[in-house]
């Protein structure tokens, strides 16, 4: 059945035109556009030049309560919807994402400053692919039955219930789709709370999902600040799952709230990942891997920001990096020629610069960059590489989340030291390894503490593979069946043999069990 037409905005103050695309600035709750009960809004600025893009509904406890109530009401119907129909609807949403790729890409770039060309050609197609992958995976979801003394053990994935999904600003719709896809496929309903710094594509996605025919209340969006809108969502007793991507301090707060009701949480958090470069590595490839870390202006959780290079390879490797960095173009992310765009917000740039200043004060040397790009102003920070840094220093231990790399060396042939340095932070999200020696690759990978290890590559991952972090980088894994496990309550149904002869045998087995305790 076709869904009712979306309500027309009550007045133009509820629509902002961003990059030529109209975006509704209200929440999306129970299949309706809803302004905040208080009437409050917050301003969403563009990282490109600081101009205000939109006045966004500023959600609070009331909107959180309403959204979870809508997700609860929709849950039984959605959970009972046949998997084939859920899969069909997810494919229809993916069709809508593909049809609106240009709009989504333009709005996302205006809102978070990442490159338009990667939003167009990489990110938005991947958003659609995420949805399709989980739709298809749902239909293939099966576990071989186990047989125990004639009894069949059948495992099923029962939808868990309303899930709150909280996302950061560095890859807004990508991360939202990464959670929304499996949650909806699994039969759970969703309340998405995007970052207050990047609220726009979540709103467009709500339109797309609605137009694709997703029933009211299955997918909801609450806009607002973390403390005002996120916290009451997490605390709501109707929520059965919380999936969060963001910083470690926020995860701790969410975990403390969730602990009160034992709500399962999935946490994808920060990182301080190493790039290990051995002297036997292809020097060009190793330098490419290093420079790739400036992607998205360094605002990538997986970024390998700590370069650890074998002493004898250091100078040549550094030369290759310098050569490449001088060819990078920094500027407007809408320009095809741009390689490095702005950072998200002046406050964030100040934070990034604070890390660099303190490192320089402590004796680090900036061999590349080392401060804001004053020619571009505001949010643009120069790709930066710092040498002469200590393993225990703040710049090596803390996530900067900007275009800032450090370079350390380890003695020639000393794999133990390389691994010690690589594993020597509180994080464990990813590690990248450049080596020409297959055996070394296997040996070192096995010793690294990381959810993902890349050998002579970066950022490639099949959607069926697990993704997540160890230590402070997270709890749980997303991807493939791991995502279904999270958004479902796994059930084992044990069935005794049926029919008279088998029944007899079942009784015998039962008696046998009773006799043998």
Question: What is the binding site for ligand NAD (CB under 6 A)?
Answer: 166-171, 193, 195-196, 225-227, 230-231, 234, 245-247, 250, 253-254, 268-271, 301, 399, 401, 429, 469, 474
Which is nearer to ligand NAD, 344 or 419 (by Cβ)? Answer: 344
- Minimum CB distance to ligand NAD, residue 114 (Å): 12
Of the pair 261, 507, the CB lying nearest ligand NAD is at 261
Smallest gap from Cβ 57 to ligand NAD, in A, equals: 14
From residue 6, give the alpha-carbon distance in Å to each of 29, 75, 220.
12, 21, 14
Q: Rank residues 150 and 249 by Cβ distance to ligand NAD and give the closer one.
A: 249
Those residues whose C-beta lies under 8 Å from the C-beta of residue 335, and which sit 6 or more positions away, are 116, 329
Quickly list DSSP for 346-389.
HHHHHHHHHHHHHHHHTT-EEEE--SB-TTT-TT-B--EEEES-
Active-site residue among 268, 310, 399, 478?
A: 268
Nearer to ligand NAD, 71 or 89 (CB): 71
**Who's near 242: CB < 8 A, 6+ residues apart?**
163, 164, 166, 234, 254, 258, 263, 264, 265, 266
- In whole angstroms, how close is the CB of 348 to ligand NAD at the nearest point? 8
Task: Tell the smallest beta-carbon distance from residue 127 to ligand NAD (Å).
Answer: 15
The sign one gets for the Cα dihedral 214, 217, 223, 227 is negative
Shortest distance in whole angstroms from residue 22 CB to ligand NAD: 23
Catalytic site includes residue 85: no
Q: What are phi and psi of 452, to 5 degrees?
A: -135, 135
Render 249-302 in DSSP notation, one character per residue. Answer: HHHHHHHHHHHHHT--EEEE-----EEEE-TTS-HHHHHHHHHGGGGGGG--TT
Residue 393's SS3 state is coil
Q: Which is nearer to ligand NAD, 409 or 483 (CB)?
A: 483
Catalytic residue check, 265: no
**Residues 171/505, Cβ–Cβ less than 8 Å:** no
Burial of residue 429, with CB atoms counted within 10 A of its CB: 0-12 exposed, 13-18 middle, 19 or more buried: buried
C-beta closer to ligand NAD: residue 183 or 321: 183
Cα-Cα-Cα-Cα dihedral sign, residues 72, 73, 76, 79: negative
Which residue stretches of 113-247 are H helix?
A: 116-118, 124-140, 172-186, 200-211, 231-235
| 59 φ/ψ sector (left φ>0, alpha ψ -120 to 50, else beta) | beta
Do residues 120 and 102 touch, judged by C-beta distance below 8 A? yes
Alpha-carbon span 462 to 129, nearest angstrom? 11
Class of residue 115 by CB neighbours under 10 A (exposed 0-12, middle 13-18, buried 19+): buried
Least gap, CB of 497 to ligand NAD (angstroms): 46
- The minimum distance between CB 28 and ligand NAD, in angstroms, equals 16
**Pick 63 or 268: Cβ nearer ligand NAD:** 268
Q: Please tell me which residue in 108, 211, 301, 399 is annotated as part of the active site.
A: 301
Cβ nearer to ligand NAD, comparing 78 with 401:
401
Reduce the DSSP state of residue 169 to 3 states and report it: coil
**Residue 73: in which H helix or E strand, if any?**
helix 61-80
Supply the minimum distance, in Å, between the C-beta of residue 281 and ligand NAD: 26
Residue 434 host element (H or E): strand 430-434
The catalytic site residues sit at 268, 301
């Amino acid at each position: 059945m076709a869904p009712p037409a979306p309500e027309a905005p009550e007045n133009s103050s509820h629509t902002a035109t961003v990059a030529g695309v109209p975006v509704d600035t209200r929440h999306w709750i129970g299949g309706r556009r809803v302004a905040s009960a208080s009437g409050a809004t917050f301003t969403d600025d563009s990282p490109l030049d600081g101009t205000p893009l939109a006045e966004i509904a500023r959600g609070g406890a009331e909107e959180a309560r309403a959204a979870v109530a809508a997700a609860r009401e929709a849950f039984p119907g959605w959970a009972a919807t046949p998997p084939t129909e859920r899969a069909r609807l997810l494919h229809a949403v993916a069709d809508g994402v593909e049809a609106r790729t240009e709009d989504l890409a333009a709005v996302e770039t205006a809102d978070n400053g990442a490159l338009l060309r990667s939003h167009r050609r990489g990110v938005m197609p991947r958003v659609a692919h995420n949805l399709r992958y989980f739709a298809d995976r749902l239909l293939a979801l099966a576990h071989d039955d186990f047989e125990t003394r004639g009894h069949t053990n059948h495992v099923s994935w029962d939808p868990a219930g309303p899930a709150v999904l909280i996302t950061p600003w560095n890859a807004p719709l990508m991360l939202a789709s990464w959670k929304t896809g499996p949650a909806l496929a699994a039969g759970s309903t969703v309340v998405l709370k995007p970052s207050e710094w990047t609220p726009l594509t979540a709103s467009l996605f709500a339109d797309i999902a609605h137009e694709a025919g997703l029933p009211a209340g299955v997918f909801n969006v609450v806009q607002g600040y973390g403390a005002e809108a996120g916290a009451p969502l997490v605390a709501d007793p109707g929520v059965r799952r919380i999936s969060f991507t963001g910083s470690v301090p926020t995860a701790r707060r969410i975990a403390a709230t969730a602990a009160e009701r034992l709500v399962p949480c999935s946490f994808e958090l920060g990182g301080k990942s190493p790039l290990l470069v051995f002297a036997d590595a292809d020097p060009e490839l190793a330098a490419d891997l290093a420079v790739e870390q400036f992607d998205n202006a360094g605002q990538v959780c997986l970024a390998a920001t700590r370069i650890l290079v074998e002493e004898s390879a250091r100078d040549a490797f550094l030369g290759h990096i310098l050569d490449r960095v001088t060819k990078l173009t920094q500027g407007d992310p809408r320009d095809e020629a741009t390689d490095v765009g702005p950072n998200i917000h002046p406050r964030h740039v100040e934070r990034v610069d604070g890390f660099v200043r303190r490192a320089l004060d402590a004796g680090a040397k900036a061999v590349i960059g080392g401060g804001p790009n004053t020619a571009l102003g505001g949010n643009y920070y120069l790709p930066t590489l710092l040498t002469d840094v200590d393993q225990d220093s703040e710049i090596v231990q803390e996530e900067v989340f900007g275009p800032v790399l450090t370079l350390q060396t380890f003695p020639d042939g000393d794999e133990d030291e390389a691994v010690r340095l690589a594993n020597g932070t509180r994080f464990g999200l990813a590690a990248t390894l450049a080596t020409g020696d297959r055996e070394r690759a296997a040996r070192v990978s096995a010793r690294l503490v990381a959810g993902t290890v890349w050998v002579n590559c970066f950022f490639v991952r099949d959607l069926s593979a697990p993704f997540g972090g160890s230590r402070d980088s997270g709890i749980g894994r997303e991807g493939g069946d791991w995502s279904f496990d999270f958004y479902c309550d796994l059930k084992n149904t044990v069935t005794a043999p049926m029919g008279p002869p088998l029944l007899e045998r079942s009784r015998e087995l039962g008696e046998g069990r009773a006799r043998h305790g």
